[in-house]
Each structure stands twice: as structure tokens, then as C-alpha cells.
């Protein structure tokens, strides 16, 4: 690791103690680690011990056959992963159903999300621990996967390998931050990351102050937007996927050099309909739900709606969001689709 650290340009800087206290008052860190440390010139928020894994990821060996799906959290990541995997694997629905998406398409920084020793402390049964470990990949396991590898990350492009786009293909998905915040809040509540009674308005104010994991949101998107014309990058909006999934599936097929028929596209779109997707055991983390990692009352795949934020924002929050978005989009031609 000493050699890796020499070529890792990012140092961690803890957020100030007052902000850490706010996070401790809002988050439940029994199982999942708090994000309290900023990395890099953009100040992306990660866990305190992220640096070691971050160096491994930054220096990981890439292969020309690798396919990455990269997003800020809750931007349609799971949806896009399943779409990409099926197109790339000639619509092998049987193989997809036989193995969880986390196994087929591992989340490369997932191991840093857990509190050290929390799995063995919280889950006493060996079978439960085994199920949990299946969903939390160590990078060594990823390095040993056969080609082609399908890899998921929420890291901004600047914190992935600098050789990424010159080596392999990347599908990046962006989404309106208001819908992202709502989805991320519900996800955090479902995964027992929040203390009881943690309200959305508080979450939103943490989000726009870059005190939610993987923020700052707009810096994450802008990095990808600036590279959208690279031949190995396909930049999509969640809103485009929602509005015309078939067209996006064709774009992905073209990007992956795959020929597809209209019949295949039609079947794929039916497979990916939210109502069908919610019932798909290979993508909705039912094994984690069964061992108590997240609440039994909810579903990992939620509504998937565009504009659902309107049900959660009062007038003050809506105006605040509009101003925040305008300020952050002022220096870029990045705009979210309006459907």
C-alpha cells in the first residue's frame, strides 16, 4: 500500500467538529460508517478511513473489456446496471435471474461503507454474515473477476483511475438533484442509516451544504459532463431513461457495439418496468432485507418517478432548490431535461 499511497493525490480532511455533531445527531452509525472526511480539491465527502481503499481504486488495474456504470447515488444506478448487463450479455435473462446484481456488477467501494467489525457484531449467525459479505465486495475480489467485468461506482471520475476513459467504457447517469435528495433520503431511512424521526427537510439542508455522502453533488456531475464527448463515455439523464427507455437502450447497445432487434428492446423494456423491476429478486437486495440490514416495510426499488420531489418540498424548499441549482449551473451548459 505504501507504493499506492505515493501515487494517490488526495488527502483526507475532516469536516469541522460542529458539523460532525450534526451528522451524529441525524445518522445512526450502528452498521454504516459516518461520512465525515473530505477528499480532493472538490472536497468530496467520504468515510474517515476511505483513503486506503481510495488509493487502491485509483491505482487498480483496468482492462479494455471493463464496463463501468458511474453515478451519484440514487440516479437510476441499479436500473442502468441491469440494462447494461443484459445488453452486453445478449439478453441472458436466465443468468441474470440466477445471480444477484451485486454479484454480476459489484459496487467497488462498498467495503468502506461498513463500520469496522460491525458485521460480526450486529450479525451473530454465520449464514447471515456470509450473506452480508456477498454484497460488500473487497477490491481483491473485483481484481480476480474474469473478463468482461461489470463494475459500479459512485465515485466522481476524478477519484477513479486517471486511465479509466482511455481504457474502458463508462456509462454515467445524472438526475435532477431534487429527485436525488428525496430518493437518497428514503434509501437512507430504509437502510437504517437515519435515527428515528430524522426528517426530510433536515436531510435536504445537509444535502445542499455538501454534508451528505459523495457530495458535492454538482461537482460530481460537472466532472462527467465535461467528459461527455469522450468516445468511451456515454452520458445519460435519468429523465431520458424514464421518458424513452427503448431509445436509451438502443444508445447503450450502440455504445457497447451490440446489434439488437426491436423484439429484444421491447422485452427488455418490459423487464425493466418499475412494477416488474420491484419484483425482481436479483436486483432488489431481498437477501439483505431478510437478514435485517434494512427495514422489512419498504423496498429497495421504490417509485422511480420523475418530479416526485414536488410531494416532499414546501414552497420555501422549492425556492431554495431553484436558487441553489441556478447558482451551480451558472458556469456550465449542463441542464436537466424537462419532460
Strand-pair partners of 68: 151, 170
Give me the residue label for grid cell 423491476: 277
Burial class (CB in 10 A: 0-12, 13-18, 19+), 262: exposed
Cα atoms in the 13 Å half-sphere on the side-chain side of 234: 23
Other beta carbons within 10 Å of 129: 15
Torsion (CA) 257, 263, 268, 271 in degrees, nearest 10: -170
Contacts of 221 (CB under 8 A, 6+ apart): 72, 174, 334
Go through the domains of the chain in sequence order and give each one's CATH number.
Answer: 62-190+216-329 (3.40.50.300)
pLDDT of residue 2: 43
The model's pTM is 0.90
pLDDT of residue 300: 45
Q: Which residues of the chain have pLDDT under 70?
A: 1-6, 115-137, 280, 282-303, 339
> Which residue in 77, 287, 312 sits closest to 186, CA to CA?
312
Backbone angles phi, psi at 280, to 5 degrees: -80, 105
Q: Are 298 and 73 in contact (CB under 8 A)?
A: no
DSSP letters for 8-55: ----EEEPPHHHHHHHHHHB--SSBPPEEEEETTTTEEEETTHHHHHH
pLDDT of residue 294: 54
Q: Are 306 and 242 in contact (CB under 8 A)?
A: yes
Query: What is the helix (H) or strand (E) element at residue 170, kind and residue range?
Result: strand 169-174
Q: Are 167 and 64 in contact (CB under 8 A)?
A: yes
pLDDT of residue 339: 61
Amino acid at each position: 500500500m505504501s507504493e499506492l499511497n505515493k501515487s494517490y493525490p488526495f488527502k483526507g480532511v475532516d469536516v469541522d467538529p460542529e458539523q460532525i455533531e450534526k451528522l451524529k445527531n441525524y445518522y445512526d452509525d450502528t452498521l454504516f460508517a459516518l461520512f465525515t472526511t473530505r477528499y480532493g480539491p472538490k472536497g468530496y465527502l467520504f468515510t474517515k478511513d476511505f483513503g486506503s481503499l481510495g488509493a487502491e481504486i485509483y491505482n487498480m488495474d483496468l482492462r479494455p473489456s471493463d464496463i463501468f456504470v458511474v453515478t451519484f447515488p440514487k440516479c437510476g444506478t441499479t436500473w442502468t446496471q441491469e440494462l447494461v448487463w443484459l445488453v452486453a450479455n445478449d439478453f441472458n435473462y436466465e443468468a441474470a435471474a440466477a445471480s444477484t446484481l451485486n454479484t454480476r456488477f459489484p459496487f467497488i467501494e462498498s467495503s468502506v461503507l461498513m463500520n469496522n467489525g460491525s458485521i460480526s457484531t450486529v450479525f451473530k449467525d454465520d449464514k447471515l454474515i456470509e450473506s452480508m459479505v456477498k454484497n460488500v465486495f473487497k477490491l481483491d475480489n473485483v481484481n480476480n473477476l474474469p473478463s468482461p467485468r461489470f463494475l459500479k461506482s459512485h465515485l466522481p471520475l476524478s477519484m477513479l483511475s486517471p486511465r479509466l476513459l482511455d481504457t474502458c467504457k463508462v456509462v454515467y447517469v445524472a438526475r435532477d438533484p431534487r429527485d436525488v435528495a428525496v430518493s437518497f433520503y428514503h434509501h437512507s431511512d430504509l437502510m437504517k442509516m437515519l435515527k428515528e424521526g430524522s426528517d426530510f427537510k433536515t436531510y435536504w439542508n445537509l444535502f445542499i451544504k455538501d454534508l451528505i455522502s459523495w457530495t458535492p453533488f454538482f461537482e460530481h456531475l460537472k466532472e462527467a459532463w465535461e467528459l461527455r464527448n469522450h468516445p468511451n463515455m456515454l452520458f445519460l439523464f435519468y429523465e431520458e431513461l424514464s421518458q424513452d427507455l427503448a431509445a436509451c437502450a438502443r444508445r447503450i447497445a450502440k455504445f457497447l457495439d451490440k446489434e439488437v432487434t426491436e423484439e429484444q428492446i421491447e422485452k427488455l423494456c418490459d423487464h425493466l418496468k418499475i412494477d416488474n423491476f420491484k419484483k425482481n429478486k436479483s436486483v432488489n437486495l431481498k437477501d439483505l432485507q431478510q437478514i435485517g440490514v434494512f427495514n422489512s416495510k419498504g423496498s429497495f426499488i421504490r417509485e422511480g418517478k420523475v418530479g416526485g420531489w414536488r410531494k416532499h418540498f414546501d414552497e420555501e424548499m422549492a425556492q431554495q432548490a431553484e436558487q441553489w441549482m441556478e447558482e451551480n449551473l451558472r458556469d456550465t451548459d449542463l441542464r436537466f431535461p424537462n419532460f
